[in-house]
Structure 1
Amino acid sequence: MKKNFIYLIIFALVVITAAEMIGFQSVKLGTFSIGLLPLVFAIIITMVLGLNLFRKGFWKKVYSKENVEFAGKYLIFLMLPLMARYGADVAPKIGEILQIGWVFITQEIGNLGTVLLGLPVALLLGLRREAIGATLGIGREGELAYISEKYTLNSDEGRGVLSLYIIGTLFGTIFFSIFAPIMLQLGFSIEALAMASGMGSGSMMSASSASLVAQVPEMEKTILAYASASQLLTSFLGTFTMVFLAVPLQQLIYRLLVRGDKNAKRAA
């Protein structure tokens, strides 16, 4: 395990270095630009090298069962520095943010949409226990932490939330890079879109806010402050919304829709 772990550390440093060297890339799509963060490239590199085609020699040791289990178990600790960064971005605009604080709170109701809409669709597609992890939220840090603590990432629920986390990082950033400027062109205010950027995902927030800054560069500080405040409050208040509203609602819907599942009683 110790020897394989050293391979994992070396591999992580190489991938991070490669992703940072590629850096933030902006791809023009007509009048819009798609922002691709280094995190996206890091995940793509890791996924490609994890294919069976490359699982030989050094790569086999990197992707050993022990390393995979270790990464799944301790992934949550790597997310904590994000919260410190959000706080640093919020501080300069704290007075302005407190004046409209109620708006940030009401947007949390939208987090229930994944349960109300996503869970029935996931079950219809054939998912069972995986649907619990995949539809509790948008599969970001808060949901990842909750599912990891309650079920572990090696469970069916854990695989569901982790799959959504990866898919969201890859495709969510691209979607919001395009969607935010479109909404701006349709007449939505820059402040509202900046707040909407903080949906609980660091990568999606960065992509969305970066695309807005590219459209209105003179409001960069306001956009980043609103997005970071929304992200911070979503991460904080979203935890309570998830535990006290989303989890019971998901449990009820799952039991109603999956009556024949002998494990339905332990849903969420």
Structure 2
Amino acid sequence: MKKEFGLMIFFVVLIVSVAELIGMQFISIGSTTITVLPLVFAVLLTMIFGLPVLRKGILKKVYSKNNINFSAKYLLYIMLPLMARYGADVAPRLREILSVGWVFLFQELGNVGTVLIGLPVAILIGLKREAIGATLGLGREGELAYISEKYTLDSPEGRGVLSLYLIGTLFGSIFFSIFAPVLLSVGFDYRALAMSSGVGSASMMAAASSSLVAIYPEQETTILSYAAASQLLTSFIGTYTMVFVAVPLQRFMYNFLTRRSENGKEAN
């Protein structure tokens, strides 16, 4: 077991090193610049090497059940340094952020959007308990922590939130790096877009804010501090919104929609 764990640590360091060597890539499509973060390359490489057809020999030991269980259990601890980084970005612009602080609170209304819109769609396409994990939020750190503690990541709910976490890491940052410049081009203020970058995902926030910085390099400090403050607020207040608003609402909607679906099948 110790040998398998050592191989996993070496593999992680290797993958991270390769991803950092690739670095942040900017792909220009017309007037839009897509930002691809090293995190995306790290996740993509890890997923490729984890395919059953390649999972042989040393890789089979790296992706052993013990290592997978360990990674799932302690995944949340690697998020803690991010919280410290957000605080460091916010502090220099704290007075300016507090002057418009009430605006940040409006974004919390969007935390229930995944339940109101995503849950009915998930059930419609055939998801069962996986829909609970997949639609509680954007499937980021807060939702991952809640679902893993309540249901464990080996449950259907855990598979739902983990799948969304990986999809968000791969495609979410690319989507946000495109979406932010597009909104900027139609007249949105860069500060408003910087505020909206903090959706609870470090990779999505970095992609969106980096795209804005590429367009307004002279406003880099303002953009990054607003984005970090928004991210910090989402991570903090969003947790309470999730527990006291999103979870009860989702439970009610899930019971109502699944009961209605079952009644419909019986009628047929």
Partner of 2:105: 105
Task: State the shift of 1:258 in Å.
Answer: 1.0
Letter in 2 for 1:153: L
Q: Is the CA contact 1:72–1:154 (under 8 Å) kept in the aligned structure 2? A: no
Task: State the shift of 1:260 in Å.
Answer: 7.9
CA RMSD of aligned residues (A): 1.2
Distance 2:40 2:261 in 1: 36
Q: Deviations along 1:128-187, whole A, 9 cap, x unmatched?
A: 111111000000011011111111111111111010000001101110111000000100
- So what's the TM-score if we normalise by structure 1? 0.96
Matches within 5 A, 1:99-138: 99-138=99-138
SS class of match (1:27): strand
Partner of 2:47: 47
Q: Which runs of 5+ in 1 are unaligned?
A: 263-268
Partner of 1:60: 60
Q: Deviations along 1:212-249, whole A, 9 cap, x unmatched?
A: 00011111110001000000000000000000000000
SS class of match (1:45): helix
Partner of 1:13: 13
Aligned residues: 262
Letter in 2 for 1:184: L
Q: Deviations along 1:85-125, whole A, 9 cap, x unmatched?
A: 00000001100111111111121011110000000000111
Letter in 2 for 1:116: L
SS class of match (1:256): helix
Distance 1:168 1:51 in 2: 19
Task: State the shift of 1:22 in Å.
Answer: 0.6
Q: Is the CA contact 1:143–1:161 (under 8 Å) kept in the aligned structure 2? A: yes
Letter in 2 for 1:18: V
Q: Is the CA contact 1:194–1:224 (under 8 Å) kept in the aligned structure 2? A: yes
Q: Is the CA contact 1:173–1:203 (under 8 Å) kept in the aligned structure 2? A: yes
Letter in 1 for 2:240: F
Letter in 1 for 2:13: L
Matches within 5 A, 1:123-202: 123-202=123-202
Q: Give 4+ residue runs of structure 1 displaced > 2 Å after superposition.
A: none
Distance 1:182 1:56 in 2: 44
SS class of match (1:258): helix
